[in-house]
Each structure stands twice: as structure tokens, then as C-alpha cells.
Amino acid sequence: MSLRTIAGDSLALLLTLSLAACQTTTPGSMQGAVEVRSGVIEQITDVQISNTKTRGLGAVVGGALGLGVGSLIGGGTGRDVAMVLGTIGGAVTGNAVQRRNQEPIPGHDIIVRLTNGVLVSVTQEPTNLRVGQKVFIQGSGEDARVTPAK
């Protein structure tokens, strides 16, 4: 098996894994039964939401692309050197691009008093909700979302 074949197979595997890591579930697309609770908003606080779900992915994708490009250059030892340099350069560049895109995003920490008196805090993207508004909390854990009651 040649180095070029190994490089091509590695690139295909890395791209497949990278795309699988990017798959997300958006609110409203959850399958199956979802717990829904009702209550009234007690407090809304502006917060910054950490954006680190795909940490390291930029370096992996950049390195894989650099490896693929490097494998197309030259022949013999020159190709090997180009592949190594392409992998390193791609990983560094991919990591820098990802770091720039991982800045915290604005959000709201919403505290809801449920009808049974329990307080629940949900952090999510900004919405048009207001204190005193009747709402539903759909889901639980990281998938919980506060939506207006109609």
C-alpha cells in the first residue's frame, strides 16, 4: 500500500469523523417524548455562553486538508516532506480559525418559578421573553428551552 493511498484513506476517515462531530440537535427537532413544565419567569440575566463543543476539530480538519494537499505535491521524499509540512501548517491554521469562531456568544440565564413553586434556571440564546411572562420549559439538562406559553 503506497503512502499516497494511506494519505487518501486517512483524509477520508478524518473528514467523515469531523462531519459526524459537527452533527447537532436543534430545539424542536428532538425525537420522542419531551418533558414540558409550565411556570412564570422570575428573572432574566444577560450571560456569555461558552462555545466549545467542537474543541480541536479545526486542527483535525486543517491537518487532514493539509495532508491531502501535500500528497499532491512532488514525488518521493519531496512528497513526504510536503505532506508533513501540509499537515502541520493545516493543523495550525485550522486551530487558529476555530479559536476565532469559538468566542463566547450572548445568552440569557432565565429563572422560572414552576407551578409547583420550584425554581428552574435555563441558559439559552437571547429571546423576546420578559419577567412575569407565562412560559413552558421543554426538555431537560442541556436540551432545556424556555418558550412562551400561548
**Could you read off the pLDDT of 33-55 as tens digits, one per residue?**
777 899 999 999 988 887 655 56
Residue 60 C-beta-side C-alpha neighbours within 13 Å: 16
Q: What predicted TM-score, i.e. pTM, was given to this entire model?
A: 0.50
Alpha-carbon dihedral 76, 78, 79, 82, rounded to 10 degrees: 160
Give ∠ CA 121-99-145 in degrees, rounded to 5.
20
CA 58 to chain centre: 11
pLDDT at 77: 79
Count of C-beta atoms within a 10 Å radius of residue 69: 17
Q: What pLDDT, in 10s, does the model give residues 5-30?
A: 655 565 555 555 555 555 544 455 55
Q: Which residue has the cell 423576546?
A: 128
